[in-house]
Structure 1
Amino acid sequence: MKGCPPVFTHASDPLEVDDWLHDVEKQLNIAQCNELEKVLYASGQLQGAAQDWWDSFQYGLPNDAPVITWREFKDNFRSYHIPDGLVELKQEEFMSLKQGSMSVAEYHDKFAQLSRYAPNDVAEDREKQRRFLKGLYDGLQL
């Protein structure tokens, strides 16, 4: 708790959900939490409508269900709060990203932000570099 974990109630922008999960996971990794602790920690940071979702999610599980893993928590949290179509749009935006009028630093930041939505396309460093270079001005690609 010393890391001042972010609280989540709701998001006007669904992509804020991903940002919250990213921030919480960062804190969990620093604290070296196990799978159960991660779920307990993150669910303890939910309030309001997000807490209602968690209560409903838990209520819908069978009594003899195994302990919820961190992966299950993240996947269900994302699928409830982020529409599938939005993730697909962000993947397409990443795939078609070009430097355009952005500086290289701005392009780099946008590339890093959008690459979160296409992890399979940048899983290997070599592929990530290729995609990054492909979006630069022709003169800069060399």
Structure 2
Amino acid sequence: MEILAEGQHTMVEALRTIANYDGRGARQGPEPNQYSDFKDFLDTKPPIFKETEEPLQADEWLNTLEQKFRLLCLTKVLKTEYASHQLHGPAGIWWSHYQSTMAANAQITWDQFKYAFRGNYVLPGLMAIKHTKFMKLIQENKSLNEYLQAFNNLARYATEFVDTDAKKITSFKWGLSPKLMKAMGNCKCATFNEFVSDALSQENNNAIYACFKESQESL
């Protein structure tokens, strides 16, 4: 029985060794208790952050980095070290100023970094401005596609008005030009994508009719 147990133990250890190597004989991931180095981080192709007029783009940058960090073995301080190397231009200057307010050789954790970064780039006042712009958004002289792009961009700041297809359709319909509103006012589309698709078709039909009418008037 001892021989059988020893053989099973040897087989388990062999399988563990194989699992730690890929098909080319290279070890997968860092050794136990070994942290990922900066090259490992760069291999995940982390995005660079310079500046932005959109508060949520700054938040998206943080979220993307956190997704990259899940692939690595890093301390909270190393996360800050690696992330700060992706701050260029105005963002890099901000980071230098922030560090100057800390004690010499202070170790800044990832949570501290995120709090300071959001405090500078994701200001509640800016979020409120974007929310107001969404509430006032109308198509006016924009093409439907231009209006759609503006709507999708600003809707991120007013999620309570777009968290269902029905709410999203209502909000989008409210800002349509009078001509499209007349045509799409009673549309019973179940999804927002269907509504937009029908509105684009209607806009195209309006354009065709306008060209036809103009050609008739010039005769």
TM-score by length of 2: 0.45
Residue 15 of structure 1: aligned partner: 53
CA drift of 1:39 comes to 4.7
Residue 28 of structure 1: aligned partner: 65
Letter of the 1:54 counterpart: W
Counterparts in 2 of 1:128 and 1:44: CA distance versus 1, 3 Å: farther
Residue 47 of structure 1: aligned partner: 88
CA drift of 1:41 comes to 4.5
CA drift of 1:44 comes to 2.0
- In structure 1, list runs of 5 or more residues that go unmatched: none
- What CA deviation, in whole Å up to 9, does each residue of 1:2-56 have, x standing for no partner? 46444334x4xx516654553x346436536389476555422113442232233
Residue 141 of structure 1: aligned partner: 185
Matched-pair identity in %: 28
Deviates more, 1:36-45 or 1:92-101: 36-45
Secondary structure at the residue paired with 2:151?
A: helix
Counterparts in 2 of 1:72 and 1:89: CA distance versus 1, 3 Å: same
Contact 2:138 2:175 survives alignment (8 Å): yes
- What CA deviation, in whole Å up to 9, does each residue of 1:69-108 have, x standing for no partner? 27525422315xx693x54433222101112233332221
Look at both structures and tell me which one has the larger radius of gyration over its CA atoms: 2
Aligned residue pair count: 134
Q: For 2:62 and 2:137, how far apart are their aligned partners in 1?
A: 27
Instruction: Identify which of 154, 178, 192 aligns with 1:114.
Output: 154
Letter of the 1:141 counterpart: G
Establish whether residue 76 from structure 1 lines up as the match of residue 119 from structure 2: yes
- In structure 2, list runs of 5 or more residues that go unmatched: 1-41, 187-219
Establish whether residue 92 from structure 1 lines up as the match of residue 129 from structure 2: no
CA drift of 1:109 comes to 1.0
Alpha-carbon RMSD across the aligned residues, in angstroms, is 3.9
Contact 2:139 2:175 survives alignment (8 Å): yes
TM-score by length of 1: 0.62
Deviates more, 1:126-135 or 1:106-115: 126-135
Establish whether residue 67 from structure 1 lines up as the match of residue 109 from structure 2: yes
Q: For 2:107 and 2:100, how far apart are their aligned partners in 1?
A: 11
